[in-house]
């Protein structure tokens, strides 16, 4: 035992001498290890969610073989958090409850998917603008085709000062015409023209009412169809659903999981999934940017993950490889039996 203690003492002294000769080298090494392990835990455990830095740090130091912060270039966790923000590795912000950090995923595949989502979001906004312009044109066209009839007001004149002016307020065309003939000499030619014009307008409105109703109905049908199309193409930036089969596309988990298929068992906060590997049975927690949909063979069941038919199950009828789209038959809900064409690969996935 004395010999062992003597040998260990000499080895420890040599390490201290090496560290004293170049202390910066050892500090840089430990700092890099601390940073890499901390960021890997943040990425794997919390993804791109905003989280308190103490929560991440407490989970980090719970591992027995972690690098202590007093062996790094940072004296406190706050200094390390500020450094992550300056280096652009995380988004950091200070609140009354402390510092919060958010991991910035710079994986090329993640960036590509984010750009694709932005492109689709912009396309949806363009579709909404087109819909608004179309409705505005329909309203303007209806107003231009409508004849606005303004009433003509004239003075009420009496030819004989001693004669009384009488009004007949009885409803009905026959009594109105009779009253008009009796009081024409009293009301004067202007009032007579107004009554005759009202009768003519009523007759013309009755004769052309059917054609106007058809025009209004056709315009309304067009607007309703456009609204239905808008609802069908409405999209969201999250698509995960339980019991669908997905494929892991990230390489950060190693070749063991890359391009392997799994079943989504649970969806957390819309963007994160707990998946179970089909081949090994391992369970992983992954962000949706690290997953992609799986297209089965025709005749198999799929679930719609985005658009107006989101959440409906269907049967895959055919695949269009040139357009990266498919045709499905809705197999659930009130739309059962409806045939949907040109639905994108990423909007459907095989059901487990």
pLDDT band at 55 (very low <50, low <70, confident <90, very high): very high
Task: Read off the pLDDT of residues 64-119 as tens digits, 9 standing for 90 and up.
Answer: 888 888 888 898 999 999 999 988 889 999 999 999 999 988 777 766 776 777 77
Mean pLDDT of the chain: 77
pLDDT, average across residues 263-270? 92
pLDDT band at 241 (very low <50, low <70, confident <90, very high): very high
pLDDT band at 163 (very low <50, low <70, confident <90, very high): low
CA-based nearest residue to 317, from 333, 334, 337: 337
Tokens read off for 352: 């487990």
N-to-C CA span, the chain: 62
Tokens read off for 29: 């090494």
Per-residue pLDDT at 349: 94
CA-based nearest residue to 273, from 250, 296, 239: 239
The distance from CA 324 to its chain's CA centroid, rounded to whole angstroms, is 21
In contact, 47 and 103? CB cutoff 8 Å = yes
Give the residue carrying structure tokens 């009488």.
166
Structural domains in the chain, CATH included, are 1-103 (1.10.10.2030), 238-294 (2.30.30.140), 297-351 (2.30.30.30)
Does the reported pTM lie above 0.75? Answer: no
Full DSSP string of 90-139: EEEEEETTEEEEEE----HHHHHHHHHHHHHHHHHHHHHHHHHHHHHHHH
Per-residue pLDDT at 301: 94
Q: What does DSSP assign to residue 306?
A: S
185-189, 190-194, 268-272: segment of lowest average pLDDT: 185-189
Task: Read off the pLDDT of residues 121-148 as tens digits, 9 standing for 90 and up.
Answer: 777 777 777 788 888 887 877 777 655 5
Q: How far is CA 306 from CA 118, 206, 341, 346, in A?
A: 15, 48, 14, 8
CA-based nearest residue to 185, from 205, 157, 144: 157
């Amino acid at each position: 035992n004395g010999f062992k203690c003597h040998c260990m003492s000499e080895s420890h002294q040599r390490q201290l001498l090496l560290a004293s000769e170049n202390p910066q080298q050892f500090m840089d090494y430990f700092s890099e290890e601390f940073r890499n392990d901390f960021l890997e835990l943040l990425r794997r455990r919390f993804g791109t969610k905003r989280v308190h830095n103490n929560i991440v740090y407490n989970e980090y130091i719970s591992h027995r073989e972690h690098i202590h912060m007093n062996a790094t270039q940072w004296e406190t966790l706050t200094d390390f958090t500020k450094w992550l923000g300056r280096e652009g590795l995380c988004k950091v912000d200070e609140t009354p409850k402390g510092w919060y950090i958010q991991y910035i995923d710079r994986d090329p595949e993640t960036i590509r998917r984010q750009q694709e989502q932005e492109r689709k979001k912009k396309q949806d906004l363009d579709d909404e603008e087109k819909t608004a312009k179309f409705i505005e044109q329909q309203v303007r066209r209806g107003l231009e085709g409508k004849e606005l009839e303004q009433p003509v007001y004239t003075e009420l004149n009496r030819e004989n000062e001693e004669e009384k002016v009488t009004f007949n307020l009885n409803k009905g065309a026959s009594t109105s015409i009779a009253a008009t003939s009796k009081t024409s000499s009293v009301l004067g030619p202007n009032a007579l023209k107004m009554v005759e014009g009202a009768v003519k307008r009523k007759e013309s409105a009755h004769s052309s009412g059917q054609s106007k109703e058809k025009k209004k109905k056709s315009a309304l049908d067009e607007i309703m169809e456009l609204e239905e199309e808008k609802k069908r193409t409405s999209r969201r930036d999250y698509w995960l659903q339980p019991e669908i089969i997905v494929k892991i596309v990230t390489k950060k988990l190693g070749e063991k999981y890359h391009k392997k298929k799994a079943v989504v068992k649970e969806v957390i906060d819309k963007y994160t999934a707990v998946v179970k590997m089909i081949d090994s049975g391992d369970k992983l927690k992954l962000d949706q940017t690290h997953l992609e949909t799986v297209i089965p063979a025709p005749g198999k069941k799929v679930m719609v993950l985005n658009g107006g038919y989101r959440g409906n199950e269907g049967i895959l009828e055919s695949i269009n490889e040139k357009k990266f789209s498919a045709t499905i038959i809705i197999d659930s809900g009130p739309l059962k039996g409806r045939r949907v064409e040109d639905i994108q690969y990423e909007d459907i996935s095989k059901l487990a």
